A and B are shown apart, each in its own frame.
Chain A
Amino acid sequence: MKQLLPFKVGYETYALPLIEVQEVVENQIVHPFPGAPAIIAGAIAFHGRIVPVVNLSLLLDFPVGKIGPRLIVLINKRGPVALGVDQVRTVINLEINQTNQMQNRIERNYIDDVINWDGEMISLFALDQLQNELQSLCEQRGN
């Protein structure tokens, strides 16, 4: 059994393995981050650390509104990062056989897999892809 944290961005429902999530924080002020790439909405003060916030709507090409009241702070070996999403839902417990291996991964970015949860399609968010994208964006800004 696997625990997943579903969240909404735009019209889509995504999910992350709960084990990747450090905390969901509420009502945090996102402070502007001058000079950062556009998908960085800003940064929050998280237990005394500065944690950049990624605007997922922008990253995933959805209409960009205000970042929702809840942010998902990820555990990250290299350093923390927070995801700005539209809505965070309650954790779901997933049986392994409920996942469908996607036929064509390349078709959609940032999706590892799709699951059918009571008739609702939930996309498993591809964290690795996000990490790589952030890395290359920040390096671009470095050169």
Chain B
Amino acid sequence: MEIDKFRDMFLAEAAEHLESMVDILMQLDLDPQDQDGIDALFREAHSIKGMAATMEHAETTKLSHHLENRLDICRKLGRISGVEIDWLLEATDLFKLLLDDIRNNHEERCVASFIATSPKETGTSTTLDSPQRKDPLSSEGEGLLVQLQLKATVAAPGPRFLVLLKTLSKFGTIIESTPSTDELLQGNVPDQLFVRLLSDTPQEQIKQQLLRYSELQEITFPGKINKPVKSLSKSPADKTVRISTELLDHFINLTGELITNRYQLQNALKEKNWQELDDGVGQLKRLVKNLHHQVLKVRMVSLEGLTGRLSRTVHDLSRSLAKEIQLKVEGAEIELDRAIVEELTDPLVHMVRNAVDHGIESRGTVSIKAWRERDQILIQVADDGRGIDPEKIRQKALDKGFLNPSQAQTIRDYDLFQLLCRPGFSTAQEVSQTSGRGVGMDVVKTAVEHIGGILLIDSAPGEGARITLKVPLSLAIIRVLIVECNGAKMAMPISRVIQTAEIAPEEVQSSGKQLMINYHDERLPLISLRKILKYSKNVALDPIPLVITEVLGRKIGLVVDQLVGQQEVYVQRLPAPFDQIRGCSGGTILGDGQIIFLLDLQSLFERRRG
């Protein structure tokens, strides 16, 4: 039980370190001489090593140790080569596999063969890897690092070092030494000794003590004060959340205030002091609002964790396709519900892949921009490549039978682009390695719609392509449009609503069996919500209330009995097994106790089709 807990902690933390390693590597790719970056990278490798060693994961320790050594060399050189960066990226991939092994209780895979592939150029510089300086302890980490150099004339360095180690151990605890006591006893003796010491004695005092030994040539303390590592956002897959103690204190304060408030209310009630009761309720309202706000904060994460992964995608892909592609990220600090970030990770990776693979021919820029518009977050992936030609889509839609000739004539570009998201519709001339794997645009769209968002595609030949995702800020509290149907109120996320309208019965035209309306020069089919929900027909309405929305890539006019209004609501998941009912993505209890269910039009329509 305990071990499991520690293992989970180790896995979560190691994943965090790996993610920041990738981020740092991407930054170093742009600026290979960034000293702070190399230092930070070293620290990450060192942290992984420390944790893995504690948990006795030998292979992970071995790999991180090797990385640490290489990075130490880079640190001394003051730069990092592109080859090295690529190799280190591969190393992070191997780390992830190792973590998977540990997570699944498998034996860790062997890393020796990978270590053997380390690039030569910066790696085995002889002066740095000579036996004398082999494997110096890093200057980072817990404790004080002491470096002792014996005079060349010392006859028996091994025993001398053992004496020195013993002397040092009087000052505190020796965490590790290079060479180790065992190695010294075996006669494997270089001219330098590195010792990591955990001690309360000041550095100067230790030095004074050591200076008594006349055989010592030099005593140095190569350690420096650890800089706090910039905390980067966590892997979206984490099940645990780290909360700042500040926020926790806030919760405790709020709880305290709520307790006080309770007594205030109880008292007021006992004394039938209505003024006091009124004040108390006002206070309670404020406290609950504050609590709600703070709790939501815990669920919020920035997009930064995700953009790191995306820059990696761009980096790897542009290398393998021999394209020169820059990634621009704007608004990564935008925060949204972690559940949404989780849902969006794969779709965004796919969109970026698409942009690199199909959008840009040989060189260009992929930009990811995130911004907030009221209670929605917009995320746009844009490229400055050749763009998408609507004519090509039209032709393909005709060939594949997605459109009949007359539809192909009249369809708007907007709807043409939405066809790209239909299953089985791909414009890639041939399936490349990249587009062959991962998810297609239909899956992207489904994922976005699943969280109550919408996807918009906009492009023109020669002008690049822009795909915009509009998603709600939070899954728990969203703005909904409330409508009435068959005497019951029901809701749909406002993010799914294009517009509401009321039209006169004369405006309805019929095209065969299908009723249509003209809406902004577009012909939209009218579909009755009653019919979808299998309720009886309604009496004729005048005017007819409509919700213009998009379902399965098509704009429709959804006929409801009445448009009630907009409201912000707290959405509950339904208890199992009712959460599996399609067509309903949750419910909410309004202030007056009324229950309103959230319609998932997409799956209602799919159900009707199937």
A interface vs B, CB < 8 Å? Answer: 29, 31-37, 40, 42-45, 48-52, 76, 78-81, 134-135, 138-139, 141-143
Is the pair B574, A50 in contact by a Cβ cutoff of 8 Å? yes
Q: Point out the residue from B485, B576, B580 that lies within 8 Å of A141, measured CB to CB.
A: B580
Asked if A36 and B578 sit within 8 Å, CB to CB, the answer is yes
Find the A residue at minimum CB distance from B529: A34
The reply to whether A35 and B583 contact each other, CB–CB distance below 8 Å, is yes
Verify B577–A29 contact, CB threshold 8 A.
no
Interface pair B593/A139, CB less than 8 Å apart: no
Query: Would B533 and A138 count as touching, CB distance under 8 A?
Result: no
Please report the C-alpha to C-alpha distance between residue A49 and residue B256 in the assembled complex, in whole angstroms: 26
Q: For residue A141, which residues in chain B have a CB less than 8 angstroms away from its CB?
A: 580-583, 607
Task: Kindly identify, within residues 134 to 149 of chain B, every residue whose CB is under 8 Å from any CB belonging to chain A.
Answer: none
Known: A51-B575, A79-B576. A138 touches B595 (CB 8 A): no
CB closest chain-A residue, reference B534:
A35
A36 CB to closest chain B CB (Å) equals 6
Shortest CB-to-CB span from B598 to chain A, Å, is: 10
Question: Contact residues of B with A, CB < 8 Å?
Answer: 485-488, 490, 533, 572, 574-578, 580-584, 587-589, 593-597, 599, 604, 607, 610
Contact between chains at A80 and B582 (CB < 8 Å)? no
Does A32 lie within 8 Å of B488, measured CB to CB? yes
B577 — which chain A residues lie within 8 A by C-beta? 78, 134-135, 138-139
Chain B residues with CB under 8 A of A42: 595
In the assembly, what is the distance between CA of A143 and CA of B607, in Å?
A: 8
Known: A31-B595, A141-B583. A52 touches B574 (CB 8 A): yes
Q: Which of A31, A33, A80 contacts B575, CB < 8 Å?
A: A80
- Closest A residue to B535 by CB, please name it: A34
Structural contact, B584 and A138, CB atoms closer than 8 A? no
Q: Pull 11 A–B residue pairs with CB atoms less than 8 Å apart, ordered by A.
A: A34-B584, A34-B599, A40-B578, A45-B589, A49-B575, A50-B588, A50-B589, A79-B574, A80-B575, A81-B575, A138-B580
Docked complex Cα distance between A16 and B572 (Å): 29
- Check if B580 sits within 8 Å of A43, measured CB to CB: no
A48 to B587, CA, bound (A): 11
Residue picked from A29, A36, A40, A139, most chain B C-beta under 10 Å: A36
Closest to A76 in B: B575
Q: Report which of B490, B575, B576 forms a contact with A34, defined as CB distance below 8 A.
A: B490
- Chain B CB within 10 Å, residue with most, of A43, A44, A49, A50: A50
Residues of B near A138 (CB, < 8 A) are: 577-578, 580-581
Kindly state the separation between the CA atoms of A138 and B365 in the bound complex, as whole angstroms: 47
B587-A43 in contact (CB<8A): yes
For the complex formed, measure the closest distance between the CB of A125 and the CB atoms of chain B, giving whole angstroms.
19
Q: Measured between C-beta atoms, what is the minimum distance from B577 to chain A in Å?
A: 4
A48 to B288, CA, bound (A): 15
For the residues of A in contact with B, the DSSP-based class is: mixed
A76 to B577 alpha-carbon distance, docked (Å) = 11
Q: How far, in whole Å, are A50 and B589 apart by their CA atoms in the complex?
A: 7
Cβ B488 vs Cβ A31 within 8 A = yes
What distance in Å separates the Cβ of A54 from its nearest Cβ neighbour in chain B?
Answer: 10
A68 to chain B, nearest CB (A): 19
Residues in B with CB closer than 8 Å to A51 are 575
Find out whether the CB atom of B587 lies under 8 angstroms from the CB atom of A35. no
Contact A45 B597 (CB under 8 A): no
Most buried by A among B576, B578, B582: B578
The one of B580, B593, B604 that contacts A45, using a Cβ cutoff of 8 Å? B593
In angstroms, how far is the closest chain A Cβ from the Cβ of B534? Answer: 9
Q: Is the CB of A50 within 8 A of B581?
A: no
A143 / chain B contacts, CB cutoff of 8 Å: 582, 610
Nearest-CB residue, chain B, relative to A34? B533
Q: What separation, in Å, do the CA atoms of A141 and B585 have in the docked complex? A: 13
A35 contacts B575, CB within 8 Å? no
Point out the residues of chain A lying under 8 angstroms from B490, CB to CB.
34
The closest CB in chain B to the CB of A51 belongs to: B575
A33-B597 in contact (CB<8A): yes
Given the interface pairs A32-B488, A52-B574, A139-B577, the reply to whether A43 lies near B595 with Cβ below 8 Å is yes
A138 vs B607: C-alpha distance in the bound complex, in angstroms? 13
Q: How far is the CA of A42 from the CA of B596 in the complex (A)?
A: 11
Query: Residue on A with the closest CB to B570?
Result: A48
Given A29-B593, A50-B595, decide whether A35 and B584 contact each other with a Cβ distance below 8 A: yes
A134 to B487, CA, bound (A): 26
Q: Given A29-B593, A34-B485, A35-B599: A78 and B575 within 8 A (CB)?
A: yes
| B491: min CB distance to chain A, Å | 10
Q: Which residues of B contact A43 (CB under 8 A)?
A: 587, 595, 597
Q: Is the CB of A79 within 8 A of B580?
A: no
Residues of chain A contacted by B588 (CB below 8 angstroms)? 50
- Per the bound structure, the CA–CA distance linking A79 and B575 in Å amounts to 5
Partner of B582, one of A32, A49, A81, A142: A142
A34 CB → nearest B CB, Å: 5
**B485 contacts across to A, CB distance below 8 A:** 34
Contacts of A37 in B (CB 8 A): 581
Alpha-carbon gap, A79 to B577, bound state (A): 8
User: Please, how many angstroms separate the alpha-carbon atoms of A29 and B593 in the complex?
Assistant: 9
Question: A33–B593 contact, CB under 8 A?
Answer: no
Whole-angstrom CA separation of A35 from B589 in the bound complex? 18
A36 to B594, CA, bound (A): 17
Residues A36 and B595 in contact, CB atoms below 8 Å apart: no
Q: Is there contact, CB below 8 Å, between A48 and B597?
A: no
- Hey, which chain A residues are within 8 Å of B576, CB to CB? 78-79
Instruction: Tell me how far the C-beta of B575 lies from the nearest C-beta in chain A, rounded to whole angstroms.
Output: 2
Contacting residues, chain A, for B575 (C-beta < 8 A): 49-52, 76, 78-81
Q: How far is the CA of A48 from the CA of B254 in the complex (A)?
A: 21
The residue on A at minimum CB distance from B600 is A35
Q: Which residue of A lies closest to B590 (CB)?
A: A45
Cβ–Cβ < 8 Å partners of A31 in chain B: 488, 594-596
B580 touches A34 (CB 8 A): no
User: Within 8 Å CB of A52, what residues of B?
Assistant: 574-575, 578
Who on chain A is nearest to B487 by CB?
A32
Kindly state the separation between the CA atoms of A135 and B584 in the bound complex, as whole angstroms.
16
A35–B572 contact, CB under 8 A? no
A3 nearest CB across to chain B (Å): 25
